[in-house]
Structure 1
Amino acid sequence: MAPILEIRNLYKNYGATEILKDINIAIEPGDFLVLVGPSGCGKSTLLNCIAGLEPISGGTVTIDGRDMTNVSPKDRDIAMVFQSYALYPTMSVARNITFGMKVRGVDAATQAAKLKHVASLLQIEQLLDRRPGQLSGGQRQRVAMGRALVRDPKLFLFDEPLSNLDAKLRVEMRTEIKKLHQTLGATMVYVTHDQIEAMTLATQIVVMKGGVIQQMGSPAEIYNRPANLFVADFMGSPAMNLIPVRTRRNGEGTLIEISRADGEPIVLRDRKAPDLPSEVILGLRPEDIAEAGFRAGEDVQEATCLVDMVEPAGADTYVVSQLGGRQVTARLHAETRARAGAPLALAFDMSKVSYFAPDSGKRLN
């Protein structure tokens, strides 16, 4: 299947400052691509380059097989939903949604049919006569999405559309956008700094830092096999534990030595580890560290750690210990008897371990 969006060797400079560096992305029709990264990483600039709102300094942007690099935004067959909603305050909801069609010369019957369909899809039929000032934030966002949906474009582009909403409404709107994507089968490119939003919505994720793509892959690939230390630390809540360790081979695999301030080093065995340098960064998700007795298997290694902090979180309890000079978080069951200042036997699932080079940060396994 030919890509619906293909970006090749894209660069964006402001004067002598490089904002985007050699960006290469290809997605298929129906994909939900999320561009994620910290503020200033270039994700919104990249979205604007796709939309044609920013001229690029090098490379090409192709949409549905057509080179759109120098084509104006109105001719790219795209629709954008902005963080600010950008609704006309003096127009009704219905007129806000249909205004673009009217400008393009779409006949009244088609406008009415599309308005009816989109209003039903977004469950805003009862709001059509109101003005934006009479709507909540979530309702305004639905109207902004409705205005984009009536265009039936090749690409939907979303620029942090939920960032102005409160936490509960963000979750609700995230679900609505996910359902919308499943219903329409449309191709969407979505910018966010919220890695939970990225993991929840995406079929493909691009993680960015400093204008450079750090990794592109499915949510499972990004989460389970981060390409480097930045991705490992950025994607996941709580973040992956990243612990400096020493390694040495023996007849039964690789011994992993983790220093601790309260006693002798912890030594864990990894039977399947590749050849590793003597000093590496070990990565392990909080859910892959359990209380001893709650996880079993040939790859599970147990060790006793001193608990620094206990953080109840409803269905889970997070337990923090100091290992390798770092805070290490274990995601335990709600009924754990862990207590701050007391020792606790923990089980480390070594089949889920990632290893990273301390100098380059690159994944080693």
Structure 2
Amino acid sequence: MPPILDIQNLYKSYGATEILKDINVAIDPGDFLVLVGPSGCGKSTLLNCIAGLEPISGGRMSIDGRDMTHVSPKDRDIAMVFQSYALYPTMTVAKNITFGMKVRGVDAATQAEKLAYVAQQLQIEPLLNRKPGQLSGGQRQRVAMGRALVRDPKLFLFDEPLSNLDAKLRVEMRTEIKALHQRLGASMVYVTHDQIEAMTLATKIVVMKGGVIQQIGTPAQIYNTPANLFVADFMGSPAMNLIPATTRANGNGTHIEIARPGADPVVLVDAQARDLPRDVIVGVRPEDIADAASTRTGADAQEAECLIDIVEPAGADTYAVLQLGGKHVTARLHSETTAKPGAPQRLAFDLGKVSYFSPDTGLRLN
């Protein structure tokens, strides 16, 4: 079975300015691909290239095995949901959803059947006779999704569809989109700058920066084994701690020495680490630094006494901030932690989850 979307060596330039550089990505039918990165990284431009709204400057792209490089948007068998919803204000919800089918000459019975199906799927049956001006942001978003769903296209494209909603509604709609994907088994490409949205929705994530793909992988791969310092810092909330350290080979593994103010360095012995350069950046997620008495860390955990600077209760968790390697480091502790600001606390570092990066190239070393 061919990939539902296959992009090879894609470039996009505006004059002399290169926006997308050598983009290569493919997804299988039923995949939920999320393009994520900071503003200006090229993710929306890439989505527009997939849609045919922007001509590409080099490379090729196919949808379901058919070359779409120079095919017009209307002939690509795609449906797009925009950030602005793009609803017709003078039409009812029902007419907004069926308008595209009417233009394409779909018979009235099929229109009615598809309208009833998507209205039930999206739970918008009571809204069908209203106009967009009478709807909330979340309801408008459902209508925009309904208009896409009646198409039954090869590929759904979403351009930051939740960014205009408030935080609570965004979480609810995120859950609905995920459930919709699971029910329909549809192929989706979704653009967001919100890395939590990317982690929760995607079957595959593309992390972008400056028009270049930094890493492609499952949410677990992106989170647990980031390819470089940018991905490590961008994906995760709170972000991965990135701590400068020096290494020293030893018979029982590699000694990782991390400086701290007014005290001897913290020394951790990683039995698995091999062939590391002298200077490294140690990447460790906040949840992989726990109270020494905690059962959360694994068999590779090593303990060290650390001075706590700040304690931030956050309901089920308590975040503790300390200084290591000249950086503020966040530990995610249990809510019952005994950690106090200005007092030492014995912490366990899970070396089985640690990432090592080169300070020179930023690339992952393990």
User: Structure 1, unaligned stretches of length 5 or more?
Assistant: none
Q: Kindly provide the amino acid, as one letter, of the partner of residue 249 in structure 1.
A: A
Q: Which whole-Å CA distance do the structure 1 matches of 2:348 and 2:249 have between them? A: 21
Identify the residue that residue 327 of structure 2 maps to in structure 1: 326
Query: Are residues 1:164 and 2:149 paired?
Result: no
**Which string of whole-angstrom CA distances, capped at 9 and with x for unpartnered residues, describes residues 311-344 of structure 1?**
1111001101010001111000011121111111
Identify the residue that residue 42 of structure 1 maps to in structure 2: 42
Identify the residue that residue 335 of structure 1 maps to in structure 2: 336
Structure 1 position 219, deviation (Å) = 0.5
Structure 1 position 299, deviation (Å) = 1.5
Structure 1 position 2, deviation (Å) = 1.4
Q: Which whole-Å CA distance do the structure 2 matches of 1:229 and 1:173 have between them? A: 31
Identify the residue that residue 112 of structure 1 maps to in structure 2: 112
Cα distance 1:236–1:62, how it changes in 2: closer, same or farther (>3 A)? same
Q: Is the 8 A contact 1:3 1:64 kept in 2?
A: yes
Identify the residue that residue 257 of structure 2 maps to in structure 1: 257
Identify the residue that residue 58 of structure 1 maps to in structure 2: 58
Identify the residue that residue 27 of structure 1 maps to in structure 2: 27
Q: Which whole-Å CA distance do the structure 2 matches of 1:41 and 1:6 have between them? A: 20
Q: Which whole-Å CA distance do the structure 2 matches of 1:294 and 1:262 have between them? A: 27
How many residues are treated as equivalent by the alignment? Answer: 365
Secondary structure in structure 1 of the residue aligned to 2:89: coil
Cα distance 1:232–1:98, how it changes in 2: closer, same or farther (>3 A)? same
Secondary structure in structure 2 of the residue aligned to 1:303: strand
Structure 1 position 358, deviation (Å) = 0.4
Identify the residue that residue 203 of structure 2 maps to in structure 1: 203
Secondary structure in structure 2 of the residue aligned to 1:156: strand
Extract structure 1 runs of 4+ deviating beyond 3 A: 295-298
**Which string of whole-angstrom CA distances, capped at 9 and with x for unpartnered residues, describes residues 33-67 of structure 1?**
00000000000000000000000000011000100
Q: Kindly provide the amino acid, as one letter, of the partner of residue 214 in structure 2.
A: Q
Identify the residue that residue 312 of structure 1 maps to in structure 2: 313
Q: Which whole-Å CA distance do the structure 2 matches of 1:304 and 1:181 have between them? A: 47
Q: Which whole-Å CA distance do the structure 2 matches of 1:20 and 1:280 have between them? A: 31
Identify the residue that residue 247 of structure 1 maps to in structure 2: 247
Secondary structure in structure 1 of the residue aligned to 2:53: coil
Q: Is the 8 A contact 2:298 2:352 kept in 1?
A: no
Identify the residue that residue 354 of structure 2 maps to in structure 1: 353
Q: Which whole-Å CA distance do the structure 2 matches of 1:5 and 1:221 have between them? A: 21
Q: Which whole-Å CA distance do the structure 1 matches of 2:298 and 2:209 have between them? A: 37
Give % identity: 80
- 1:4-15, aligned counterparts within 5 Å? 4-15=4-15
Q: Which whole-Å CA distance do the structure 2 matches of 1:2 and 1:63 have between them? A: 9
Identify the residue that residue 267 of structure 1 maps to in structure 2: 267
- 1:130-279, aligned counterparts within 5 Å? 130-279=130-279
User: Structure 2, unaligned stretches of length 5 or more?
Assistant: none
**Which string of whole-angstrom CA distances, capped at 9 and with x for unpartnered residues, describes residues 160-206 of structure 1?**
00000000000000000000000000000000000000000000000
Q: Which whole-Å CA distance do the structure 2 matches of 1:37 and 1:309 have between them? A: 30
Structure 1 position 262, deviation (Å) = 2.7
**Which string of whole-angstrom CA distances, capped at 9 and with x for unpartnered residues, describes residues 111-148 of structure 1?**
00000000000000000000000000000000000000
Q: Which whole-Å CA distance do the structure 2 matches of 1:162 and 1:191 have between them? A: 10
Structure 1 position 251, deviation (Å) = 1.1
Q: Is the 8 A contact 1:262 1:306 kept in 2?
A: no
Identify the residue that residue 87 of structure 2 maps to in structure 1: 87
Q: Which whole-Å CA distance do the structure 1 matches of 2:178 and 2:40 have between them? A: 26
Q: Which whole-Å CA distance do the structure 2 matches of 1:12 and 1:195 have between them? A: 24
- Over the aligned positions, Cα root-mean-square deviation in angstroms equals 0.7
Structure 1 position 355, deviation (Å) = 0.3
Q: Kindly provide the amino acid, as one letter, of the partner of residue 106 in structure 1.
A: V
**Which string of whole-angstrom CA distances, capped at 9 and with x for unpartnered residues, describes residues 61-101 of structure 1?**
10001000100000000000000000001100000000011
